[in-house]
A and B are shown apart, each in its own frame.
Chain A
Amino acid sequence: MTETFISWGMDPNWAWGVATIAGILLIALPLMLSVAMIIYADRKIWAAIALRRGPNVVGPFGLLQSFADGLKVFLQETIIPSSANRGLFLIAPIITFTVALMAWAVIPFNSGAILADINVGLLYILAISSLGVYGVILSGWSSNSKYPFFSAMRASAQMISYEVSIGFILIGVVLFADSFNMNEIVKAQIGHGLGVVNAFGFNLLLFPLAVMFLISSLAETARAPFDLTEAESELVAGYQTEYSSMSFALFWLGEYANVLLMCALNAILFWGGWLPPVDWAPLYAVPGIIWLFAKILFFFFVFSWVKATVPRYRYDQLMRLGWKVFLPISLFWVFLISGYLMLTRYS
């Protein structure tokens, strides 16, 4: 985009600055809009599986429901509990929201459409997603109330546990792609499966990792069946119990932006990102961004589907799955993949 601005007769330094800000807005604003629509989709899918109607009053088919909710929380009063730690209480939702937006900087939407095409893109995503836990811990502690605090403890333990196995899963992908750059990872998937299918997921060695990554991303975003942080029967509403109005809305937006990010990561790392599913020339005529969105929506549907059908895990089962099942398997898989690549690619 910088070149376009330079061609309009702008100074290169200014052009870079303006292009970056324009890029940020081009990602953040549609993201907010899609979060609003995805909340609606989530409720509709959930309702359909439970044989209910879901939101259907505001606008045609209830499409404007999320905007009505947004307007409602915007007009509400922000209540700060008198014994809360004021500064941290207000910063916590902002951290959650900002961190959820920051990670989108390295997501490639098409072969050239990426805000920050950095060498360490995947590490950047790991780094940013490890920051997400602060919003939860801080909100839980600063609320000065016991349920949010329990929830914060659970959430942080859960996120840290699953980040470990996610790290090992990502190493498997990086070994195959031979790069940490997100665009290179996508390009490495061209014709990966039998020279025809554009996806790492069709590799027998990587498919188990894809499944584990999908489950880990459910746990990482604290979605059902791992939503113990918001287990309403035990913890009221979890870490956001004391929040109201816009600070509550920021948590919601951040949470769903994170869910979308995890769907995008699933699509990019294992299912070809902006590539068409099959390496066949006419399919490349469809813009890459549409393929990516289709894959993101598919994974979001899976997320909602799981939410509507799978009962909530018990906390010890959750920890067992993370530490005793996923961690050993993913660690073993790193050895397996390195061994396979040493035999085939580097010998």
Chain B
Amino acid sequence: MIQLIAFYLFATIVIASATMVILARNPVHSVMWLILAFFNAAGLMLLAGAEFIAMLLVIVYVGAVAVLFLFVVMMLDIDFAELRAGFVRYLPLGALVAIILAAELIFAVGAWQAGGVDLASRAAPAVTDKSNIQQIGELLYTRYIFLFEAAGIVLLVAMIGAIVLTHRQRGGVRIQNISAQNRRRPEDATRLVDPGVGQGMEL
């Protein structure tokens, strides 16, 4: 009973906040609705018994991706009047995308009801008393080890690519050398002198 209530609660909030993402006028509000949608999607995952995935969803999407979104959106200099002015211009393109998505959805539901591809028999998971993390770990590091490593290499390449694209060497910049600063002792920097009267001293 409580599961049913929780499911409908989470599902309703996901759909409502996803709708609000595109309806909200202020982009920052849109991002906030998106975060709410992520959060409730994590709730749905919890109900499905995938607590590990649910936590990862919150850590990765809410904790990192959405923060970057928010950063970018907040930095934008938004002119709301201009945003609304472009509405008519982009209407045909938007309508086209919407029609394609709707057609695909109807197509997918139709195909699913026809019962075409038989995936269910292959993907039936064996019920065990192991925890989520152990199960995922065992599969990931044995059966899917090559895919896992391939994913790692793709991410590494992406990271190196991003660093190469944004890295630039600027001349004439004075950079702190922390270890040199820490090695410096008072004796290296100061000198005690006792000049006689009228002699002055050389720096």
Q: Which residues of A contact B (CB under 8 A)?
A: 13, 85, 87-88, 118-120, 123-124, 126-128, 130-131, 133-134, 137-138, 141, 149, 153, 156, 160, 163, 180, 316, 320
Closest partner residue, chain B, to A181 (CB atom): B131
Closest partner residue, chain A, to B53 (CB atom): A120
Are B133 and A180 closer than 8 Å at their CB atoms?
A: yes
Which of B32, B55, B67, B71 is A120 in contact with, Cβ under 8 Å? B55
Which of A88, A119, A124 is B132 in contact with, Cβ under 8 Å? A119
B52 interface residue per 8 A CB criterion: yes
B18 interface residue per 8 A CB criterion: no
Are B133 and A120 closer than 8 Å at their CB atoms?
A: yes
Cα–Cα, bound, A128→B105 (Å): 34
CB of A175, distance to nearest CB on chain B (Å): 12
Are A13 and B1 closer than 8 Å at their CB atoms?
A: yes
Contacts of A316 in B (CB 8 A): 176
Q: Can you give 20 A-B contacts (C-beta < 8 A)? A: A118-B51, A119-B51, A119-B133, A120-B51, A120-B55, A120-B132, A123-B52, A127-B63, A130-B63, A130-B64, A131-B62, A131-B63, A133-B63, A134-B35, A137-B70, A149-B74, A153-B71, A156-B67, A160-B64, A180-B133
Cα–Cα, bound, A336→B19 (Å): 48
Are B67 and A126 closer than 8 Å at their CB atoms?
A: no
Are A119 and B58 closer than 8 Å at their CB atoms?
A: no
Closest partner residue, chain A, to B66 (CB atom): A134
Cα–Cα, bound, A228→B70 (Å): 21
CB of A177, distance to nearest CB on chain B (Å): 13
Closest partner residue, chain A, to B75 (CB atom): A153
Interface range, B side: 20 to 34
CB of B59, distance to nearest CB on chain A (Å): 5
Cα–Cα, bound, A130→B57 (Å): 12
The 0/1 profile, CB within 8 Å of A marked 1, for residues 14-29 of chain B is 0000000000001011
B2 interface residue per 8 A CB criterion: yes
CB of A154, distance to nearest CB on chain B (Å): 12
Contacts of B64 in A (CB 8 A): 130, 160
The 0/1 profile, CB within 8 Å of A marked 1, for residues 99-114 of chain B is 0000000000000000
The dominant DSSP class at the B interface is helix
Cα–Cα, bound, A153→B67 (Å): 11
Are A119 and B131 closer than 8 Å at their CB atoms?
A: yes
Given known pairs A120-B132, A180-B133, A320-B178, the reply for A137 and B55 (CB within 8 Å) is no
Are B67 and A137 closer than 8 Å at their CB atoms?
A: yes
CB of A57, distance to nearest CB on chain B (Å): 43
Interface positions of B from 52 to 87, Cβ below 8 Å from A? 52, 55-56, 58-59, 62-64, 67, 70-71, 74
Which of A124, A141, A320 is B74 in contact with, Cβ under 8 Å? A141
Closest partner residue, chain A, to B42 (CB atom): A127
Contacts of A180 in B (CB 8 A): 133
CB of A338, distance to nearest CB on chain B (Å): 12
- 5 tightest A-B CB contacts, nearest first: A130-B63, A127-B58, A123-B55, A119-B131, A127-B59
CB of A5, distance to nearest CB on chain B (Å): 16
Which of A119, A133, A149 is B67 in contact with, Cβ under 8 Å? A133
CB of B193, distance to nearest CB on chain A (Å): 31
Are A130 and B1 closer than 8 Å at their CB atoms?
A: no
Contacts of A130 in B (CB 8 A): 58-59, 62-64
Given known pairs A13-B1, A120-B133, A127-B62, the reply for A156 and B71 (CB within 8 Å) is yes
Closest partner residue, chain A, to B73 (CB atom): A141
Cα–Cα, bound, A191→B63 (Å): 36
CB of B142, distance to nearest CB on chain A (Å): 15
CB of A101, distance to nearest CB on chain B (Å): 16
Contacts of B133 in A (CB 8 A): 119-120, 180
CB of B44, distance to nearest CB on chain A (Å): 15
Cα–Cα, bound, A87→B1 (Å): 34
Contacts of B35 in A (CB 8 A): 134
